[in-house]
Amino acid sequence: MLCLMYFITYLDRVNVSTAAAGFGKEFNLSKTEIGLVFSAFAYPYLVFQIIGGWVSDKFGAKRTLIYCGILWAIATILTGFAGGLTSLLLARLLLGLGEGATFPAATSAMARWIPKERRGFAQGITHAFARIGNAAAPAAIVFVMVQYGWRESFYICGALSLVWVVVWAFVFTEDPAKHARITAEELAAMPAPKTGNTKTPWGPLFKRMLPVTIVYFCYGWTLWLFLSWIPQYFLHSYHLDMKKSAIFASSVFFAGVIGDTLGGIVSDKLLIRTGNLKIARSYMVSVCMLLTLLSLLPIIFTHNLYVSIVCLSAGFFFAEMTIGPMWAIPMDIAPESAGTASGMMNTGSALAAIISPVLSGYLIDRFGSWELPFVGSMILMAFGVVLAFRMQPDAKFTGGDGIAPSMGSKGTKLRV
């Protein structure tokens, strides 16, 4: 169910980048204005990361995602009724409000259901479905646009969201011990149950998560550049028709599907083999960010369609390999407040989602270069390579300023 949710939420949030070819022309919008539409989603999304994480920790992921799902479904449908720039912005703001708590709530649910040595895979596979949503969106939205129109693509996505909400309400069990078919052996393998509604130490937890949040901002800048502008990049930089640009954009996003899945698997295997969370999480993130930077470098020096496809696909693949270890880190650091901690981390990506699409659109309008925005991605990736060593997933948050060694820290072999 979480995999399906990640797929649907990303379908709902990136369909606008393909539909921009329709509403941008109909409403006569500049690239900067289209960038504003792309980024409007991220303002409430940023605000409700931490709030949504705290709500899911306190009241449960089930109720949180039911209410959020209804809201983001309505917002998606309302996007199809937009009559201009203002109504588009309002609909996208409402979408960000609805989707703000989704990933922290999902992480809170996973913290109750997923053992430590499977967290990388769980986060990797759910985010892989998000990238399937990215990969499916360009082709699917173009098909609907050609057959019916850009508005109908939002109606269909909104209806799909409502179906998911209904199914989730019936099938998810908040507490593993209360699941009707849980066995004693399965329950023994689950993480320790929460000790109760303890107060969240906001200041110390924020300080503890700050390096993780900044690293995730560096990753998020590249993510939102890709999600917002890649379909338009192939359409305008290489003057392809809409169908071909959608196919090439989907091929780039599909590389992210593989990267998400493989990244989670590799992170968990490193943890089992070394018993060292720093190697399995921080070092792996640093290496993958470096490989992302190197992959993107050639597109600055050459303008060739096939070189661009290879470089962008490789860059997105390595960037997405960081997802499994990054989203496992909040559960490693603060399992009792995994929703809140992951919400703090995801504010980094949400902030990047506000700035990256608009600044990229401005650079394209100002200089006429579709490659120039990738320079910022490479600079931030280089910064992330260094800062990843400060994340300390091997030191468990104790609820105050102190930290305690976590199982899987250096010198402690993990028993599986």
Contact 414, 272 (CB under 8 A): yes
Q: Cβ contacts of residue 129 below 8 Å, gap of 6+? A: 3, 4, 6, 7
| Domains in the chain: boundaries | 2-173+200-405
The three-state DSSP-derived secondary structure of the chain is CHHHHHHHHHHHHHHHHHHHHHHHHHCCCCHHHHHHHHHHCHHHHHHHHHHHHHHHHHHCHHHHHHHHHHHHHHHHHHHCCCCCHHHHHHHHHHHHHHHCCHHHHHHHHHHHHCCHHHHHHHHHHHHHHHHHHHHHHHHHHHHHHHHCCHHHHHHHHHHHHHHHHHHHHHHCCCCHHHCCCCCHHHHHHCCCCCCCCCCCCHHHHHHHHHHHHHHHHHHHHHHHHHHHHHHHHHHHHCCCCHHHHHHHHHHHHHHHHHHHHHHHHHHHHHHHHHCCHHHHHHHHHHHHHHHHHHHHHHHHCCCCHHHHHHHHHHHHHHHHCCHHHHHHHHHHHCHHHHHHHHHHHHHHHHHHHHHHHHHHHHHHHHHCCCCCHHHHHHHHHHHHHHHHHHCCCCEEECCCCCEEECCCCCCCCCCC
Q: Cβ contacts of residue 304 below 8 Å, gap of 6+? A: none
As a whole number of angstroms, the distance between CA 372 and CA 370 comes to: 6
CB-side exposure of 273: number of CA atoms within 13 Å? 8
As a whole number of angstroms, the distance between CA 165 and CA 397 comes to: 33
Phi, psi torsion values for 359, nearest 5 degrees: -65, -40
What does the pLDDT read at residue 198? 57
Contact 191, 177 (CB under 8 A): no
Handedness of CA 269, 347, 55, 154 (dihedral sign): negative
Contact 220, 49 (CB under 8 A): no
Q: Please list the ranges in the chain whose pLDDT falls under 50.
A: 401-402, 407-416
Q: What would the two tokens of residue 281 be? A: 């999480």
Q: What would the two tokens of residue 161 be? A: 């969201």
* CATH code for the part of the protein at 2-173+200-405: 1.20.1250.20
What does the pLDDT read at residue 294? 96
Phi, psi torsion values for 60, nearest 5 degrees: 105, 150
What does the pLDDT read at residue 68? 92
Q: Does this model's pTM top 0.85?
A: no
What does the pLDDT read at residue 399? 67
Q: Please list the residues that pair with 395 across neighbouring strands.
A: 405
What does the pLDDT read at residue 300? 87
The residue assigned the tokens 């969201």 is 161
